[in-house]
Amino acid sequence: RKEVEQDPGPFNVPEGATVAFNCTYSNSASQSFFWYRQDCRKEPKLLMSVYSSGNEDGRFTAQLNRASQYISLLIRDSKLSDSATYLCVVNMGSKIIFGKGTRLHILP
Amino acid sequence: EAGVAQSPRYKIIEKRQSVAFWCNPISGHATLYWYQQILGQGPKLLIQFQNNGVVDDSQLPKDRFSAERLKGVDSTLKIQPAKLEDSAVYLCASSLAGYNEQFFGPGTRLTVL
């Protein structure tokens, strides 16, 4: 099993729809989790941290399921500007692992 | 607030040549990271510094890659000699501490011919 796995997509979603991604991780001792967004030919930027109790920031909701070892990102009322690659990041204490990313295309 | 600075932005070299990249992190950030991002993949951590000490270099190909952060501020990453498979974007990031949000620089796009 890979240390951090994401569905590469692409997810082609009509504007206004809701879309969700999951990211699984192999190390049960992982300590912190993040979602980063990366636009084409740009550097990654933090979208949100993922807390054990789940957290919401506007249209974005992140959740952590330690029992099943995955984190999720939900985007509601998607906008054209949400088109990007979404990277899952897991801090395993001894090392930081980025997933390969999930590509999202919002269609007009 | 100034972000993470990297130079050069682009570099084209032939295989077996040497190349060096420079990174200046956000002022006050103790932790500095170098990542390699190959097209279509997520960033892979090469090395992590805490001030001027190495925290993790387990994925750094030490036979050809080296990095230093002598004064605990800016850092250089060197490849000597370069191989074709080193073609990638090299990203530098910094954070206040190891568990905090990382801020990335614009990256250096390396092409090895």
Q: What is the pLDDT of residues B34-74, one digit of tens each?
A: 999 999 899 999 999 999 899 999 999 999 999 999 888 99
Residue A94's pLDDT band, with cuts at 50, 70 and 90, is: low
Residue A38, pLDDT above cutoff 90:
yes
Please tell me which residue of chain B has the smallest CA distance to A101: B42
Q: How many CB atoms lie within 10 A of CB B12?
A: 12
Residue A57, pLDDT above cutoff 90:
yes
Residue B8, pLDDT above cutoff 90:
yes
Q: Do B99 and A46 touch (CB under 8 A)?
A: no
Q: List Cβ neighbours of B112 (8 Å cut-off, separation of 6 or more).
A: B13, B14, B15, B82, B83, B84, B85, B86, B87
Q: Strand pairing partners for B89? A: B37, B109
Residue B83's Cα: distance from chain center in Å? 17
| Minimum-distance CB partner of B56 among A42, A95, A98 | A95
Contact criterion met (CB below 8 Å) for B11 and B108? yes
Closest to B68 measured CA to CA, from B80, B90, B51, B81: B51
- For residue A47, the model assigns a pLDDT of 96
B-chain CB neighbours of A99 within 8 Å are 42
Across the range A81-92, mean pLDDT stands at 94
Q: Do A43 and B107 touch (CB under 8 A)?
A: yes
Q: Which residue has the higher pLDDT, A95 or A104?
A: A104
Residue A34's pLDDT band, with cuts at 50, 70 and 90, is: very high
Report the run of H or E that residue A62 belongs to, with start and end.
strand A60-65
Q: Do B42 and A98 touch (CB under 8 A)?
A: yes
Contact criterion met (CB below 8 Å) for A97 and A35? no
Across the range A92-104, mean pLDDT stands at 87
Q: Do A44 and B43 touch (CB under 8 A)?
A: yes
Residue A95, pLDDT above cutoff 80:
no
- For residue B1, the model assigns a pLDDT of 65
